[in-house]
Structure 1
Amino acid sequence: MTDRATAPAPTDPTAVPPPSDGALLTVTGSDRPGVTAALFAALDELGPHPVEVLDVEQVVVHGQLVLGVVVGSPAGSPDGLLADRLRATVAEVAARTGVQVSVQPTAAGSARQERTARHHVIVLGRPVPPAAVAGAARAIAGVGGNIEAIRRLSDYPVTSFELTVSGAASTELRTALATVAAETGTDIAVEQVGLARRGKRLIVLDVDSTLVRGEVIDELAARAGRAAEVARITAAAMNGELDFEESLRARVAVLAGLPVGVLEEVRAHLVLTPGARTLIRTLQRLGFRCGIVSGGFSQITDPLAAELGLDFAAANTLEVADGRLTGGLVGEVVDRAGKARALARFAAEHGVPLDQTVAVGDGANDLDMLNAAGLGIAFNAKPFVRDQAHAALNQPYLDAVLQVLGFTRDEVLDAV
């Protein structure tokens, strides 16, 4: 009988022993068809002991190829010989394809190490100055982060780059990068790496000063001869200095007596924010549910939603009697809390969890909605709002939201 104290541990038939030896191959040179195929074909024919591929990353920058491959020898192969075996093989590949290949011994098991917290850092600008990239890199290093990869997301209408960063905590990273953004005049957004980023399925947009330029209430007030008065109230409300419902009712009151036809006049003169149609069209073709939630008026937003083919819309309704505005409202007021409720309602109706939603807005009355969404983006927002949102964009183009979501310019063109 075998002594239990000395019996060998049972073998896990699914366990794969780690490679005993490893090497990093770095390929650089002019990109051309067949380079990657030639390298891997040579690795497949390498004898007398086989190798296995542990990690691969390839990028082409303006026609120049950079390919990194980590390979290892299975357990049981002689230690310390892999790099020597590879050098002659890759030299032949280099001569045949016109690229340069370097071989560096490495710890094969390192390719399988557990990774720490990782984030996407998106730097946007028009243009992006070198100081912004340098500042971001310094800030990332300053909070213990490491840049694993950089890729360009877009060159139009804004230039944007995505940095994949490991080893830094979210709060410290965002704080450090906010300083860089302010100093360089760029936008820098931070999102955690994971499936949730590309799992977003519903977007809600504020209307005034987000989807469209300007404030509808100001346009209506101008036609009532009360523009300056209403503009002051609007500014105070958007900066969080006044209760939204109280300020809304005060502004609506000055519209009493306006003919209802003025609403259509104002709606016909609305100017969409640059990039608005591209954003909506792209997200719709990618399967998003798209809608608007406004502290404005349904007589304006409902036709706008129909024109853009949106899935839902929520707004306040102006009271009309005898063909004229009464200066009052009908039904529940869509205020700061009401916007968040509308987001939750639309998400539930379409079977989308809140963490898979995106909200975009500029005013204090958008804050509850921005914070309730999986990703809340302050768009050309007041400082009070910008400081509390998940991400902030200060570019004039609404379709820059696509880069914050991680979509490249090529993906946008393919969707359009």
Structure 2
Amino acid sequence: MNAPVPTPTAPLDAPTVSVTLLGRDHAGVTARLFEVVAPYEVEVIDVEQIVLRGRLVLAVLLTEPADREAFERSVADVASELDMDHDVSYGQGDNRGRRRGRSHVTVLGAPLLPSQFSAVTAQIAAAGGNIDRIVRMARYPVTAIDLDVSGAAPEALRRALALEAARQGVDVAVQPLGIHQHAQRLVVMDVDSTLIQGEVIEMIAAYAGCEKEVAEVTAAAMRGELDFADSLRERVALLEGVDVSVLGAVYESIQLAPGARTMIRTLKRLGYRFALVSGGFTQIIDTLAADLGIDYWAANTLEVRDGRLTGRVAGPVIDRAGKAAALRRFAEQAGITVANTVAIGDGANDLDMLAEAGLGIAFNAKPAVRDAADASLSVPYLDAIVFLLGITREEIEAADAEVAETDPQPGDGAR
């Protein structure tokens, strides 16, 4: 016969006691503290623990014991036994749930300086936020720190921190905390200057002797100064007569963004799906998607006749609206709500896609795109995106080590 399930007996506004231990980290500290306080018939309300350079901070929130004096002696005795400092303090009504307006804030810097972190956390306080939890997500190639914040409206917090991040030269991402964060996601990426370094059309143009002219039009289009479809046709017209074999050579010269393979394999292990939505060309994207194990993709197609480019695009152009439509289509095919999609891009033609997604990330983007996106990364490492999704560098490395012998993965540059 199963034992009855105990239910909490203390009301939410009952008096509480906070116990903190600080000292050298060693095995059994947590178990010993709870063993000592157990006879006082208190309930566990909250526990926080951190280890930094071998120093342990353990903070426990309990309902208030009936015999304060005896309780404090027991805590002092166990702290002495463990050679740790301790603190005991009492409060009232602090055992309720976190305040409304909960956000997940990620701060990234390379390096991350104390003055920068101070400025960001000061803005959180100014917005009415309280930092409930802090944890490091990564030490390299960037320092990434996660903060769980309550008490501030996520949108207001995002606006305030975006301005502060720009002043401080760091990246700050704000996401509302909620159950949707744990849902399976679809990641939809731009390709040129996002998944790969550089622009494919400019690489082709180099063979046609018009790279500079094409690059100037590309830059204006990415800033949103030109209509993308018109600018694409203008640039493609300059490629007329280029031998189709050039496309194979261009593909061989492509370099992925640092961390691209790491990001893809890490998230695929967790059930994420990936899509590429590109203003580039199927002659490149088809092969790239196959090489990386991408689930869905859409791109433009260069018209070819007699083994040479005609200077025209075959079929409709995948432009700004087309990218957003592709995101919706791929989400439907994957059986994932649009709210559980992540979009990553850098140019003006990515704006609708970034706005449509549940989380839009500007990656080394133009100013207008950074301002419009939910989050912005200015570091060149694509795998920094996994830190925004709650995955630590240590977890990535542990997963890689676990499968290294049975499931070797392609290299990813320095990482």
Q: Same fold (TM over 0.5)?
A: yes
- For residue 413 of structure 1, what is the aligned residue in structure 2? 397
Closer/same/farther in 2, CA of residues 114 and 135 from structure 1, 3 Å limit: closer
Query: Is the 2:276–2:298 Cα contact (8 Å) retained in structure 1?
Result: yes
CA offset at residue 22 of structure 1?
2.1
Paired amino acid for 1:58? Q
Q: Distance in 2 between matches of 1:23 and 1:15?
A: 16
2:333 pairs with 1:342: no
Q: Distance in 2 between matches of 1:409 and 1:82?
A: 45
- For residue 11 of structure 2, what is the aligned residue in structure 1? 18
Q: Distance in 2 between matches of 1:399 and 1:44?
A: 44
Q: Distance in 2 between matches of 1:374 and 1:407?
A: 18
Q: Distance in 2 between matches of 1:251 and 1:82?
A: 80
Q: What is the aligned-residue identity percentage? A: 53
Secondary structure of the corresponding residue to residue 111 of structure 1:
coil
CA offset at residue 32 of structure 1?
0.7
- For residue 385 of structure 2, what is the aligned residue in structure 1? 401
Q: How does 1:53-202 map to 2 (within 5 A)?
A: 53-73=44-64, 81-107=66-92, 109-113=93-97, 115-202=99-186
- For residue 404 of structure 2, what is the aligned residue in structure 1? none
- How many residue pairs get matched? 394
Secondary structure of the corresponding residue to residue 314 of structure 1:
strand
- For residue 4 of structure 1, what is the aligned residue in structure 2? none
Q: Bigger CA drift: 142-151 or 214-223?
A: 142-151
CA offset at residue 331 of structure 1?
2.0
Q: Bigger CA drift: 348-357 or 404-413?
A: 404-413
Q: Distance in 2 between matches of 1:248 and 1:145?
A: 45
Structure 2, unaligned runs of 5 or more: 1-5, 401-415
Write out the 4+ residue segments of structure 1 that deviate beyond 4 Å after TM superposition: 13-17
* RMSD over aligned Cα atoms: 1.7
Q: Deviations over 1:97-133 (max 9, x none)?
A: 22222211122x3212562211121110110011110
Paired amino acid for 1:25? V
2:33 pairs with 1:39: yes
Q: Deviations over 1:271-293 (max 9, x none)?
A: 11111111111111111101211
Tell me which of 236, 259, 269 is aligned to 2:253.
Answer: 269
Structure 1, unaligned runs of 5 or more: 1-12, 74-79
Query: Is the 2:120–2:161 Cα contact (8 Å) retained in structure 1?
Result: yes
Secondary structure of the corresponding residue to residue 372 of structure 2:
coil
TM-score (norm 1): 0.91
CA offset at residue 95 of structure 1?
2.1
CA offset at residue 251 of structure 1?
0.8
Paired amino acid for 2:149? V
Paired amino acid for 1:390? D
Q: Distance in 2 between matches of 1:82 and 1:204?
A: 58
Paired amino acid for 2:68? A
Q: Distance in 1 between matches of 2:181 and 2:171?
A: 19
- For residue 21 of structure 2, what is the aligned residue in structure 1? 27
Q: Bigger CA drift: 265-274 or 136-145?
A: 136-145
Query: Is the 1:22–1:82 Cα contact (8 Å) retained in structure 2?
Result: no
Secondary structure of the corresponding residue to residue 61 of structure 2:
strand
Q: Distance in 1 between matches of 2:8 and 2:78?
A: 34
Query: Is the 1:340–1:372 Cα contact (8 Å) retained in structure 2?
Result: yes
Q: Distance in 1 between matches of 2:128 and 2:185?
A: 33
Paired amino acid for 2:22? T
Paired amino acid for 1:189? A
Secondary structure of the corresponding residue to residue 336 of structure 2:
coil
Query: Is the 2:258–2:380 Cα contact (8 Å) retained in structure 1?
Result: yes
Query: Is the 2:129–2:151 Cα contact (8 Å) retained in structure 1?
Result: yes
Q: Bigger CA drift: 356-365 or 135-144?
A: 135-144
CA offset at residue 16 of structure 1?
4.2
Q: Distance in 2 between matches of 1:313 and 1:193?
A: 30
Query: Is the 1:83–1:105 Cα contact (8 Å) retained in structure 2?
Result: no
Query: Is the 2:102–2:149 Cα contact (8 Å) retained in structure 1?
Result: yes
TM-score (norm 2): 0.91
Tell me which of 249, 253, 274 is aligned to 2:237.
Answer: 253
CA offset at residue 28 of structure 1?
1.0
Query: Is the 2:8–2:43 Cα contact (8 Å) retained in structure 1?
Result: no
Q: Bigger CA drift: 288-297 or 328-337?
A: 328-337
Structure with higher Rg: it is 1
CA offset at residue 200 of structure 1?
4.6
Secondary structure of the corresponding residue to residue 94 of structure 2:
helix
Paired amino acid for 1:361? G
Paired amino acid for 1:208? D
Secondary structure of the corresponding residue to residue 95 of structure 2:
helix
